[in-house]
Amino acid sequence: MKIIIISVVLCIVSFTASYTDVPIIGILSQETYSVQHLFPNEKYDSFIAASYVKLLESAGARVVPILIGQEKDYYKYIVQNTNGILFPGGATWFNQSDGFADAGQILYDLALERNINGDYYPIWGICLGMELLAQVAVQGKELRAHCLSKKESLPLEFRPDFNTSKTFRQAPRRIIKILGTLNVTYNYHQYCVTEKNFTSFGLDQDWRIVSTNKDVYGLEFISVFESKRYPFYGIQFHPEKNQYEFKPSLKIPHSKEAVEMSQYFANFFVEETRRNNHSFIDWETEKNALIYNYPTHYTGIKNSSYEQLYMFK
């Protein structure tokens, strides 16, 4: 009897044990509208702000850039060989064919299919990337409202049941206190997702709202949401900026508490990506895919809001 029980336990453990200590995360690049002027002598197709790369690296992950405008097989390869995806913030439209939004839809559909089939493949959306996550979750329908929250640092307004959310159920009390009382979450967005559209577009079926905030006109927007079933998470504010962006006019909080809460989110998401064992076929292939193959450009010196960028042709 004992032996049977032990073997049943072992079975369950080995079924759920796929895990890696060395996660590699894909970051989706985006069109260069907001940064092309920084490079008068070069024409680039897409970029990634280095702050997102550093945020993930700070929690033990490495990064592979994901280009826009590629064939579906390319995105399939990315999902097969990485441990999760980040949709970053920035500034681009969702209506450009073969752009940020189309790539996001393909990646989301691939990730969803994997999770439905028992894999554990996380996606994290930050700011514009959170808006993208909400949009691709409703098959690409535009559901955002115009709203205005620029250079605004706010404490989260938690939903009463926030502490049962995946995002926060293991958060240290100190982090919850920081998030709930200090002006540390840095907002810089002109669109947002409201509870009204969250419900009317049917996101409330599979997703839950974890916290909200108000824009300068008092419009309430969703600041943290997560999928109920799958490891998909969205936050409207910018934890990467607390640690890695410094342009003074942006008024980004850099206090010890702001940095600690930023590190909480990085650690939370990267730990999620350790929960599958996808990997590149060998070390050489892995090395050739990493973002280390590209140089960073010091754009802070050109008065950009981004200290450093990765640029792709």
Interface residue list for ligand NAG (CB under 6 A)? 17-18, 93, 95-96, 142-143, 145, 163, 182-183, 194, 196-197, 249, 277, 279, 303
> Is 238 considered catalytic here?
yes
CB-nearer residue toward ligand NAG: 151 or 287? 151
> Is 127 considered catalytic here?
yes
CB-nearer residue toward ligand NAG: 137 or 143? 143
| Given the residues 127, 189, 192, 297, the one annotated as active site | 127
CB-nearer residue toward ligand NAG: 181 or 295? 181
Closest approach of Cβ 65 to ligand NAG, in Å? Answer: 23
| Given the residues 189, 238, 278, 297, the one annotated as active site | 238
Q: Return phi, psi of residue 69, to 5°.
A: 70, 25
CB-nearer residue toward ligand NAG: 60 or 253? 253
Closest approach of Cβ 96 to ligand NAG, in Å? Answer: 6
CB-nearer residue toward ligand NAG: 96 or 263? 96
DSSP the chain: -HHHHHHHHHHHHHHH----SS-EEEEE-B--TTTGGG-TT---SEEEEHHHHHHHHTTT-EEEEE-SS--HHHHHHHHHHSSEEEE------S-STTSHHHHHHHHHHHHHHHHHTT----EEEETHHHHHHHHHHTTT---PEEEEEEEEEE--EE-TTGGGSTTTTT--HHHHHHHHHSS-EEEEEEEE--HHHHHHTTGGGTEEEEEEEE-TT--EEEEEEEESSSSEEEESS-HHHHHH---GGG----SHHHHHHHHHHHHHHHHHHTTS----SSHHHHHHHSGGGS-EEE-GGGT-SSSEEEEE-
Just list the catalytic residues.
127, 238
